[in-house]
Amino acid sequence: MQAPSPTSPWFDFNSANDQIEAVHADLPDRKAPIKAQLLGSLEGYLHQLLPAGSKKHGRFVVGDTSGSKGQSLSVDLTGSKAGMWHDFATGEGGDVFDLFASVWGLNTHHDFGELLQRLEDWLGIAPVRSSDTKPTAPIVDELGAYSAKWDYLDADGQLLACVYRYDTEAGKEFRPWDVQSRKMKAPDIRPLYNLPEIVKSGRVILVEGEKCADALGSIGIAATTAMFGAKAPLDKTDWSPLKGKQVIIWPDHDEAGRVYAQKLLAALPSFGVASVTVLSIPAGKPEKWDAADAVAEGFDVPTLLEGDVRPAIPSFALEELIADKSPMPADLVAPRVMTPGSILVFGGAPKVGKSDFLLSWFIHLAAGEDFLGMSPSGALKIFYFQAEVQYHYLRERVQTLAVSSDLRARAGRNLILTPQLRLLLNSEGVEQLARAILSKFPDGPDIIAIDPIRNVFDGGSDGGGENDNAAMMFFLTERVERLAKLVNPDAAVILVHHTRKLPKKQLEEDPFQALSGASAMRGFYSSGLLLFRPDESRTERNLYFELRNGPALPYKLVDKLDGRWMELDKNSERLVNQDYGEKLDAERRRKHDVILQILFEEAKSGRVYTMNQFCQAFENSAGLGGETTIRRRLDVLSTKGYIKFFRDAEQYGIAQSARTKYGFMCVEDMRIAGEHDVVDPETGEVTSSVIPVLPSHYKCRSTAAALPVEDPQIWIYYEEGNP
């Protein structure tokens, strides 16, 4: 039977209330086609039902059945569980019918007939009756008979959609027909053309329009097009069948074709294509020349395809970037710590706790839980390739981690770890590791971690090490990127790397400069994390961030407390007191050094001091403070042995006397200028005479008494830990 025009409904459900009871008697017959239609375009229907939801990692997520924003409710989109859903906040769940019933406030047990009726109305499906026959594809009366028709099939040859061409007085027009909804519209998620053929081919030619794809197919070349060619919205097309394939874009020879090719160049790598290039149009070809024209004129197409192919260098005009309002890709780990296809370098010195930190982090990510303010988009699949810890010690470390049993259970299948492997990531090693990863995650992981890269590093035939920039760049491009392409180009890669020793001040100013091979690596990775212990006597670590794809993040102060990694408040009373104490210690050390230096320098000018004389002479000088403060510092220095005393000043040519308990102060290697110059008999060079000062007394630590020095040539200092 001929379908009505697109503006007319197939059936009027509001005019037949008396038919409802008869329709409800056929519930089993009506359920199957409704379910098939829902599952056939499930993602599109879910976006209509719950507009605040989004697709993440193969699932549709939303806050709840009322349509709130969030990720508590998850719906499987593919596979045998397509349509199954679960709300982790409430524990509710079920199949696709239960979901629609919950959103619409119905009960599948008591209101199933009403649910089917509403679904039929919502989907535009006629209730099944014996007199009905399945509508055929429409013929649009006002446009006349179609001049061409192309069928879009799935990989198994089942019809998904049709595109009709009409040649009108105003020009050619194209109208799509969606088989699932039986409506004159494009499917919500549009398939590629010629799927049964392109899924079998390693190389696919991407053209503009079905006519060009058919022309290439007629000479044995696998080709496809998006529905509507250059006008196809990229975000509504399912590009996944091109994953792992070599794609050659053959644009029409016009401005629209060139713009479309540039957009494809930028978009297709994110869908996992092995390579994407643009065909160079032969010189002298007319405007709008395309693949169908090439076949029609007998052009040597195979030679053209094997010849000059332009490299994939996408470029965009400023106005294009400003006009593009498409949503940003979802972060794998927010905020912008890991994005799809990114490379993160995690660095730190030996024994700073990198592996323990990573294990705790990965368990949280695999369970879909936040960790130190870093939020995963869901429960992430992680393959942790580590080359340091043997199996039994890895097992022991994992079992002793202080994480809850619930967290372990949720992460259990999502985190795969290797024991210590002696595997070099050369060409063969990359393929071997890729096979191991895909055996655990057939659809590919979300994160691949390599710990540490120094144990698996391959710098190429020149044999360069990890500190060689050329070797490091070879490893990153030919080994790390290739591994990601083999298992999942959208996966984030974490490279665990050691840091070189840098001065503390320089490390704090630019911590990522400490990464070995930094100049090559820092120009390559997307984000970096660095774990650094600023004080070896304390357990706190600084966690630094460097993000190329997002705004700067302040460093975090973290520590492992009771077996769990926690973020500390930088302004907490304990830490503030520690910092304040350190500042006081530093100031005391400064004053000690200044006092000793003054005594040393003054003696060279022939001036020496008792304690009282020094306090009076240098009060409020050189930052030493008042007389009382200086006296305290002198008491400490003399008690610790840094200052000793001599009483006979005349033997050093000093006509100076004073009443003092201890005598004049002296320090190690102190020398007093003599009265006479010394003349070298051979050279005649005149130098000032200096006399070494040797102590005669020291201050007793126990009684503060002035006691004679046993050996004035030996200086003993009494610091903490030195009895």
pLDDT along the chain (723 residues), means of 10: 33 33 53 83 84 85 88 89 89 91 86 86 62 41 72 89 84 84 85 93 93 93 92 88 92 89 85 87 90 92 77 72 80 92 90 90 95 94 93 90 90 93 89 92 93 89 78 89 88 89 69 72 86 82 89 89 85 57 72 90 87 91 87 91 88 74 90 65 63 90 89 80 45
Q: What is the DSSP secondary-structure string of 581-607?
A: HHHHHHHHHHHHHHHHHHHHHHHHTT-
Closest CA to 719 of 613, 614, 640, 657: 640
The residue type at 573: E
How far CA 384 is from CA of 46, 416, 418, 419, 612, in Å, comes to 34, 6, 6, 9, 68
> Contact at 8 Å (CB) between 345 and 529?
yes
Cis amide bond preceding 335, omega within 30: yes
The rounded distance, in Å, linking the Cα atoms of 331 and 283 is: 44
The rounded distance, in Å, linking the Cα atoms of 345 and 522 is: 9
The rounded distance, in Å, linking the Cα atoms of 512 and 491 is: 23
Give, rounded to a whole angstrom, the gap between the first and last alpha carbons of the chain.
107
The rounded distance, in Å, linking the Cα atoms of 447 and 487 is: 10
**Cα radius of gyration rounded to whole Å, the chain:** 39
The rounded distance, in Å, linking the Cα atoms of 484 and 536 is: 37
Closest CA to 26 of 125, 172, 135: 125
Helix (H) or strand (E) holding 151: strand 148-153
Q: Is 470 helix (H, G, I), strand (E, B) or coil?
A: helix
What lies within 8 Å, CB to CB, of 441 at 6+ separation is 381, 383, 416, 487, 488
**Phi and psi of 545, rounded to 5°?**
-120, 145
Place of tokens 């005393």: 645
Burial grade of 148 (CB within 10 A; 0-12, 13-18, 19 or more): middle
Task: Specify whether the backbone of 531 is left (phi greater than 0), alpha (psi in -120 to 50) or beta.
Answer: beta
Place of tokens 């919205």: 233
Q: What is the DSSP secondary-structure string of 416-445?
A: EE--------SHHHHHHHHHHHHHH-TT--
Helix (H) or strand (E) holding 46: helix 42-49
